[in-house]
């Protein structure tokens, strides 16, 4: 007889082992168990032991709960993190939804192709280029490429992604900065409060 554990491992109790245990128990005690009952007991013990060993060896979650600094507060889990509407690159680097804040995901999905004047941290102007790439077979949007001029040593002068995406929607730099900071402050406040207060 054999049973499968949650991890997929099979725990088998050979019939020979069952018979040997019955023999060792002796006739008076053996009358209380038949082979099937003893096999069931051994299998349950084996399953419990396997589960305990798995938990001891790998105590973390079997499945990622999807909660991080990038996700919404637990009280707002009914409104899940957006998914990107297509693949996207930011200055040639693939954008990974797992490392993007939910607000960035929302703004990226609202982005439209074009060339937009945006503002660096030192208030100098630059251009954010958004280029679409269509699927060759269907003609549907397959990728969006975001690019802008980057000079050596100037990476710290780049404004936050959300600010540039808001500027691309027509907001002024100051309005975009205020909106972005307001969202981040509200998000931080929500994540700092107990779930029951916000639920």
Q: Is residue 67 part of a domain?
A: no
What does residue 114 show for φ and ψ, rounded to 5 degrees? 150, 180
Q: Measured on CA atoms in the order 107, 157, 183, 66, is the torsion positive or negative?
A: positive
Grouping H, G, I as helix, E, B as strand and the rest as coil, residue 123 is coil
Question: Digits of tens for pLDDT over the chain (199 positions)?
Answer: 444 545 444 445 556 666 666 666 664 544 555 667 766 766 767 766 766 666 666 666 666 555 555 565 554 555 677 899 999 999 989 999 988 988 999 999 999 999 999 999 999 999 999 999 998 889 899 999 999 988 766 778 899 999 999 999 999 999 999 999 998 888 878 777 665 544 4
User: Is there a single domain that holds both residue 84 and residue 173?
Assistant: yes
Q: Measured on CA atoms in the order 179, 180, 183, 186, is the torsion positive or negative?
A: negative
pTM over 0.85: no
User: Is there a single domain that holds both residue 188 and residue 122?
Assistant: yes
What's the structural domain count of the chain? 2
Burial class (CB in 10 A: 0-12, 13-18, 19+), 101: buried
Q: Is residue 63 part of a domain?
A: no
User: Is there a single domain that holds both residue 80 and residue 53?
Assistant: no
User: Is there a single domain that holds both residue 173 and residue 121?
Assistant: yes
Among residues 177, 151, 182, the alpha carbon closest in space to that of 164 is found at 177
Angle between the N-to-C axes of helices 35-57 and 15-30, in degrees from 0 to 180, rounded to the nearest 10: 120
Quote the domain boundaries for residue 44.
2-57
């Amino acid at each position: 007889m054999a049973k499968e554990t949650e991890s997929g491992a099979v725990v088998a109790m050979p019939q020979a082992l069952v018979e040997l245990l019955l023999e060792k128990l002796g006739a008076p005690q053996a009358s209380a168990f038949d082979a099937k009952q003893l096999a069931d007991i051994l299998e349950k013990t084996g399953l419990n032991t396997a589960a305990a060993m798995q938990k001891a060896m790998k105590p973390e979650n079997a499945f990622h709960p999807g909660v991080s600094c990038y996700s919404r507060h637990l009280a707002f889990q009914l409104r899940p993190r957006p998914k990107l509407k297509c693949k996207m690159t930011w200055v040639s680097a693939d954008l990974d939804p797992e490392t993007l804040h939910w607000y960035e995901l929302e703004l990226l999905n609202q982005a439209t192709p074009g060339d937009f004047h945006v503002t660096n941290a030192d208030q100098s102007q630059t251009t954010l280029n958004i280029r679409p790439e269509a699927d060759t077979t269907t003609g549907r949007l397959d990728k969006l490429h975001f690019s802008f001029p980057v000079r050596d040593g100037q990476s710290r002068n780049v404004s936050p992604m959300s600010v540039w995406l808001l500027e691309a929607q027509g907001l002024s730099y100051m309005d975009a900065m205020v909106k972005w900071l307001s969202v981040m402050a509200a998000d931080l406040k929500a994540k700092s409060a107990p779930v029951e207060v916000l639920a």
